Chains A and B, each alone.
Chain A
Amino acid sequence: MRTLIGVTVLLFAQPVFAQDMPLTQVLIEKEPWQLVGEGFRFVESPASDKEGNIYFSDVPDSKIYKITPQGSLSLFARETGETTGLMFGKDGKLYGCRHKERSIVAYNLDATFQVVADNVTAHDLVVTSDGGIYFSDPSHKRIGYLSPQRSVAVVAKNLHPNGITLWHDGGTLVVTERDHPYLWTFRVEKDGRLSYREKYYLPLTLTSGSHLPGSDGMTMDRDGRLYVTSTAGLQMFDPTGRQGGVIVKPQQKHLSDIAFGGPQFNMMYVTCSDKVYRRKVKPQGIPFYGFSHDLSTNSK
């Protein structure tokens, strides 16, 4: 029997070139977007903790909310200084950009916070596994880096950055520009500097008659797919930078950001203008960098 199976397998052609990643590897039949929160002014920056709870910010209302995997919504923090760019660090703290106060802060789980960098204009951030932070600074058209020792450096210039994320090994940084149909990639050097900038993810799908993709927040799954929110929908790219498809957004309003949550981290959460949605998918994400990839401890 084993021989027969072997012969059968050999009869099928072996692929010669790169593997494709179609949407069928991501979406589950009859698992559409579910509304999990509404009535907000403008929501952004979903972030998952290690239990799969999702935190997100209603930016103009200066509030941060929390949604449990069971769908229970609660207010986490108020008077947040129009916080954007939320993301958990390996230390269990929730990092964010207090836009109005020009600072980057670390929220404790009781909603108190410490300033980790001040006098910085930051819109979105990503926390590395060693506690460094890359942040987009669109007002100065640059990328900033806050080292684990808390020194700030400009690591990329001459771009209008918006969303920012890392590959799971932390070795490649990806940045969106909302007005250009590509995503920038950089190699992350050992000292935090960025090198070898390239329009690796290209082209983004545009809506009819528009030249502006409106690309915003991003996340990655464990297979290396990158997801970027945009006017045309949630665009998915494979690790070689090829677009694999566009997931239709849940409503015809601005799709601003995405994160994987839920106990198995296989629930996509998106912020879309005044509402938050989620959708169960086949791939899994990670809540933060340095997170153990062993899901068995988080699947209870």
Chain B
Amino acid sequence: MYKTSRPCHSRTSYWVLWVVTCCVLLFTISYTTPAQAEEYHLGPDSMRHNDVPKGTVTRGIWRSQKIFPGTERDYWIYVPAQYQDSIPACLMIFQDGSSYVREDGDVRAPTVFDNLIHQGAMPVTIGVFLNPGVIPGSAPGKQPRKNRSFEYDTLSDQYARFLIEEVLVKLNKMYTLSDSPDHRAICGASSGGICAWTVAWERPDQFQKVVSHVGSFTNIRGGHVYPALIRKTERKPLRVFLQDGKNDLDNLHGSWPLANQQMAAALSFMKYDYRFVFGNGGHNYIHGGAIFPETLRWLWRDVRTPSK
């Protein structure tokens, strides 16, 4: 009863539909190959190895009452196996921490840290992975205020003060950390990338190492002005790693590929200690994650943990 006879034109239409669909598929594949079929893959330094000591990762909820009052956020602290209370460790802070800390994610920062610290390719470094804040609603059914863009995209020292006046204060009570700004790095992607830059730009006395993946140096909240500011401001003592790809976003806020090239050109003009890796990727962690071990080797190339 369910089988119905099809008129001839229906069969023709079906074939036309197949042909059109195949054409669309072929076009889609060829058009999106650079962006979607990423040629970037994780290497051995991003994989677990049995002979490499594994650090610990602990999770908590951070409730800010001072700099971002009312916000709550998940955070993770990575402590390498080689950490000793008697020797000051370096520090690296990550925005959108859950993406960077994931054991099976695109970056796998704890695994990379374990491998590179074990190799002596980077100093003993505590990793702090902070998610953006959320102000929960006051009652069920009330929308939370999502603070990510406000915290990350705003051109001010507010996020830097959050790190310095809240996070670092607590960390210094828990661990022995170097107080040299040269021993503190900050890393993020997209808005988290411009945030990393803003923290170091505002407070180079506290953070001097920056890693930005697909950084949003665009006009989300005015961040497109940084290349111009860099060119007309006395050089600050920063080391900056930028990664972007030609298939990154082009939207109402700006062109990510052009903005990152402008940043790199400005850093070059002012003779900053910087590196710019520009590939084929899109707005994701894939390329940045694949080169993360090399990024860390470059970033920490002249910092080694002193022996006791």
Contact = CB atoms under 8 A, between A and B. Distances in A.
Which bracket fits the contact residues of B? 35 or more
Given A17-B191, A195-B70, A202 B142 contact: no
B145 A187 contact: yes
A15 interface: yes
Given A16-B190, A20-B251, A22-B252, A200 B150 contact: yes
A196 B147 CA distance: 12
B21 interface: yes
Nearest to A17: B190
Contact of B142 (A16, A20, A170, A224): A170
Interface stretch (A1-9, A66-74, A256-264): A1-9
A195 B138 CA distance: 10
A42 B222 CA distance: 34
B58 interface: no
Contacts of B154: 202
B115 to A, nearest CB: 25
A195 B136 CA distance: 12
A202 B152 CA distance: 12
B29 interface: yes
Nearest to A16: B284
A8 B25 contact: yes
A13 B36 contact: yes
Contact of A169 (B17, B137, B221, B252): B137
Contacts of A7: 25
Given A13-B36, A16-B285, A169-B143, A242 B149 contact: yes
Contacts of B145: 172, 185, 187, 196, 198, 200
A167 B146 contact: no
A187 B135 contact: yes
Interface in B153-189: 153-154
Contact of A8 (B28, B148, B253): B28
Contact of A20 (B21, B146, B147, B253): B253
A142 B208 CA distance: 42
B70 A202 contact: no
A203 interface: yes
Contacts of A287: none
Interface string A7-41: 11001110111101011000000000000000000
A244 B153 CA distance: 14
B141 A22 contact: no
Nearest to B24: A8
Contacts of A11: 25, 28-29, 32, 36
Nearest to B142: A171
Interface string B200-237: 00000000000000000000111000000000000000
Nearest to B33: A11
A20 B24 CA distance: 26
Contact of A245 (B143, B190, B252): B252
B252 A20 contact: yes
B252 to A, nearest CB: 4
A244 B252 contact: yes
Contacts of A170: 142
Nearest to B70: A196
Contacts of A4: 21, 25
Contacts of B251: 20, 22
A224 B147 CA distance: 15
B39 to A, nearest CB: 15
Interface in A171-209: 171-172, 185, 187-190, 195-200, 202-203
Contacts of A251: none
Contacts of B143: 167, 169, 171-172, 224, 239
Among B29, B32, B145, B253, the one with the most A-chain Cβ atoms within 10 Å of its Cβ is B145
B97 interface: no
B239 interface: no
A7 B28 CA distance: 11
Contacts of B29: 11
Contacts of A17: 190-191, 283
Interface in B31-72: 32, 35-36, 68-70
Contact of A13 (B32, B148, B149): B32
A206 to B, nearest CB: 11
Given A202-B221, A242-B153, A18 B148 contact: yes
B110 interface: no
Nearest to B153: A242
Contacts of A190: 138-139
Given A1-B17, A17-B283, 18 more contacts: A8-B21, A8-B28, A11-B32, A13-B284, A16-B283, A18-B148, A18-B149, A171-B141, A185-B145, A187-B70, A189-B138, A195-B70, A203-B221, A203-B222, A239-B143, A241-B149, A243-B221, A244-B252
5 contacts: A16-B283, A22-B252, A23-B252, A188-B142, A196-B69
Interface of B: 17, 21, 24-25, 28-29, 32, 35-36, 68-70, 135, 137-139, 141-143, 145-150, 153-154, 190-191, 220-222, 251-253, 282-285
